[in-house]
Amino acid sequence: MTRGGLRERKKAQTRKRLADTAFAMFRERGFDAVTVAEIADACDIAVSTLFAYFPSKESLVFDQEAAHEQRLDSVVRDRAAGATILDALEAHLAAPKPRRPGEPSREEFLDLVHATPALRDHFMRTQRTWETTLAQAIAEEAGLPDDDLQARALARFALDVGALAEESPDPAHALRILFARLRNGWADLDRTPTARPDTGSR
């Protein structure tokens, strides 16, 4: 292995150790009760070194956000020949998500985020960043302007559909239903309600 490759591997190992240690401490004591200095000390590194890997305390929980953003972009741009943008997004969201050794489960991650206002806020900001990246990829692939409203709407819907499906007892089934609705529209649900019979005055 080259010196550069070894250096990158060690950096990746340090980054993972910081994220795993922080998550374990947050789960045990709560996000607000743990300081960045305590996390750095537990990993035997300086606080300045920690911030060289993670720009904020919240980003220790979202250590895969940049990789996820890149995947969303490539899912659209590098989709198989003949696949629509919706096909590619649905397949990506439905695919099993491999867990690295020591990585928290999706349920553990969501429990911590939902219980912590600062993490919920961070996640909302992060999702808006993902949305912008995905919308730009959709717009370019569809031959639309970068700020096209349709591309932005589809990006937001797709990300929200993924989050909604994860809350379902059967996420795969929920994804199929929700993406079918994105493909086919809402016309069959947008009917005029049947008038209620007049029961007369009382």
What local confidence, expressed as pLDDT, does residue 200 receive?
54
Question: What per-residue confidence (pLDDT) applies to 134?
Answer: 96
How far apart, in whole angstroms, are the C-alpha atoms of residue 31 and residue 119?
9
What is the per-residue pLDDT across 156-188, written as a single tens digit (0 to 9) for each? 999 998 888 888 888 889 999 999 988 888 776
Residue 193 has pLDDT above 60, yes or no: no
* pLDDT tens, residue by residue, 8-27: 899 999 999 999 999 999 99
CA distances from 60 to 17, 37, 83, 117 (A): 10, 13, 35, 15
Residue 195: per-residue pLDDT = 47
Confidence of residue 105 (pLDDT cuts 50, 70, 90): confident
Neighbours of 181 (CB within 10 A): 14
Would the pLDDT of 1 be above 60? no
Tell me what the mean pLDDT of segment 78-102 comes to. 87
For the four alpha carbons of 107, 58, 103 and 134, in that order, the dihedral sign comes to positive
- pLDDT per position as a tens digit, 13-67: 999 999 999 999 999 999 999 999 999 999 999 999 999 999 999 999 998 888 8
* Backbone phi and psi for residue 157, each to the nearest 5 degrees, phi listed first: -60, -45
3 contacts: CB under 8 Å, gap ≥ 6: none
Length of the chain: 202
Q: Which pLDDT band, with edges at 50, 70 and 90, does 202 fall under?
A: very low
pLDDT higher at 105 or 4: 105
Please provide the average confidence, as pLDDT, over all residues in the chain.
Answer: 88
**Confidence band for 81, pLDDT divided at 50, 70 and 90:** very high
Contact 69, 76 (CB under 8 A): no
pLDDT band at 5 (very low <50, low <70, confident <90, very high): confident
pLDDT given for residue 65 in this prediction: 83
Q: What are the residues whose beta carbons fall under 8 Å from the beta carbon of 157, sequence distance 6 or more?
A: 182
Residue 72, CA distances (Å) to 13, 19, 158 in order:
24, 22, 11
Q: CB count, 10 Å around CB of 75?
A: 21
